[in-house]
Every structure is written in C-alpha cells, then in structure tokens.
Amino acid sequence: MLYLLAKAAISGVIIALVSEIAKRQPGFGALVASLPLISILGMLWLWRDTHDVKRMATHVEATFWYVLPSLPMFLIVPALLRRGVNFWMALGAGCAVTIGLYLTMTAIGPRFGLKL
C-alpha cells in the first residue's frame, strides 16, 4: 500500500509542478508538460513491478501509437479559444475528437498489425 501511495504522490507532484510552472511561464510549462514524464514513470513502475521484457516492449510501443491520436487536441483547443469559444467547450471538443481518434485507432490499428 505504501508503494502505491508513493507512486501516486510522485506522479501528482509532477502534475502540480507543471501547473505551477505554466502559471509563471506558459511556454516553459508547455515544454515540461510535453516531456514524456508520466510515460517514463509508468515504464519505471511497470519494470519495477514485473521485469517483463515482452510486456514492457508492448506497453512502450502501444504508448507511441496512442500518443498520435491525442496530438490534434493540442491544435484544436487553442484554435477554438482564439475564435472565442469558452475554455470548457474548447476542451470538451478537443477531448471528443481525441476520443473519436482513439476509437478509430483501436478499430483500424489491428488491421495494420498494431497490437494495442
């Protein structure tokens, strides 16, 4: 249980730090947010818990393929905000598009040999 709490605390601190950095310097906050810190932590936790090479390789490769459908959100949200759409609607639209692209990826990915 202590291990789980430590993982949650470390992950939460990273998210809080990104938020605080972005309040002061939005560009630098975006740089820190774009780093695959959570992915790396996930890999570290998974490796520590399993030491399973095949599982790790599958996890890392699937992470790559799942990042791709999330990228358009980072263009949609700012475009909508600049056009006067309120934050929650812009975020909702970005998330909806991302969900749609995730569903598309999981539906067509296996047809191209992707193991997701």
Domain ranges of the chain: 1-51, 53-116
Helix/strand/coil for 72: coil
Single-letter amino acid code for the residue at 61: E
Percent of the chain exceeding pLDDT 90 equals 66
Per-residue pLDDT band for 14 (boundaries 50, 70, 90) equals confident
30-80: pLDDT as tens digits: 888 888 888 898 899 999 999 999 999 999 999 999 999 999 999 999 999
- The pLDDT assigned to 30 comes to 86
Q: What is the pLDDT of residue 3?
A: 85
- Please provide the average confidence, as pLDDT, over all residues in the chain: 92
Strand, coil or helix: 17? helix
Cα 17 vs. chain centroid, distance in angstroms? 16
- Which of 9-12's residues contact partners 24+ apart within 8 Å by CB, and which partners? 10/41, 11/38, 11/41
Predicted local distance difference test score (pLDDT) of residue 70: 94
